[in-house]
Amino acid sequence: MPQQTPLKIAVLVSGSGTNLQALIDRIEQGDINANIACVISNKAEALALSRARQHGIPTEVLESSAGQKRSEYDALLVKILHRYNVRLVVLAGFMRILTDVMISAFPNAIMNIHPALLPAFPGLNAQRQALEYGVRFTGCTVHFVDSGTDTGPIILQAVVPITAEDTVATISEKIQVEEHRIYPEAVRLFVQGSLKVEERRVKIQLA
């Protein structure tokens, strides 16, 4: 059977890009038939941009301007993504809330990862929320992005225990290990056409 053309992906970043690196590694190992067409950041100083350049991946910086509406920013973002013929958008620590301009341009084709077992502890500081609430387990969730905050259909989740000795820092470290495992796996499932969204459920259809 002939090899299919690699799916074009864009990764949106704001920070260090450890999830970006995990995805790059899996693609370079041949586990995911995809090509990261571009890495886009809203911060010129983001370390993730350096990670991308070290692997020969094109980068773009799109900073917001004073008085710019979020929808106007997203319209510019969509233009860049279309220029690279992107099919899947992966959010890897992208510290902006997307508007319907972006979401409607890539329906069920924008992924995000959240450091909690959604729908528990959405929003910022999820690790601290879990610790202060006193739950015994937390984890991470890969989901499609919709118009809500961390409310999109769930693709994959991973669980980590919380012990009496844990701090926000140690919980974050344990969660990050699982993020680096399940986020590339969710991308792999999308690329091979194994994900089907039916209302709020994401069905995984393995060949």
User: Residue 86 is encoded by which pair of tokens?
Assistant: 């992107």
Residue at which a domain ends, from 87, 106, 125 = 106
- Residues 84, 121, single domain; the answer is no
On whether the CB atoms of residues 158 and 140 are closer than 8 A, the answer is yes
102 in the same domain as 3: yes
Domain count across the chain: 2
Same domain assignment for residues 27 and 69:
yes
Side-chain half-sphere exposure of 21, counting CA atoms within 13 A = 12
What is the Cα Rg of the chain in Å?
17
The CATH number covering residue 158 comes to 3.40.50.170
Q: Which of 86, 106, 126 is the last residue of a domain?
A: 106
Instruction: Point out the catalytic residue in the list 55, 114, 143, 180.
Output: 114
Residues 116 and 101 both lie in one domain: no
Tell me what the pLDDT averaged over the chain comes to.
Answer: 96
CA dist list (Å): 18 to 2, 4, 102, 191, 201: 33, 28, 24, 21, 28
Q: What is the reported pTM? A: 0.95
Domain that holds residue 60: 1-106
Q: What pLDDT digit, counting tens, does each position of 5-44 carry? A: 999 999 999 999 999 999 999 999 999 999 999 999 999 9
Annotation marks residue 114 as catalytic: yes
* pLDDT single digits (tens) 54-96: 999 999 999 998 899 999 999 999 999 999 999 999 999 999 9
Q: Which of 90, 106, 122 is the last residue of a domain?
A: 106
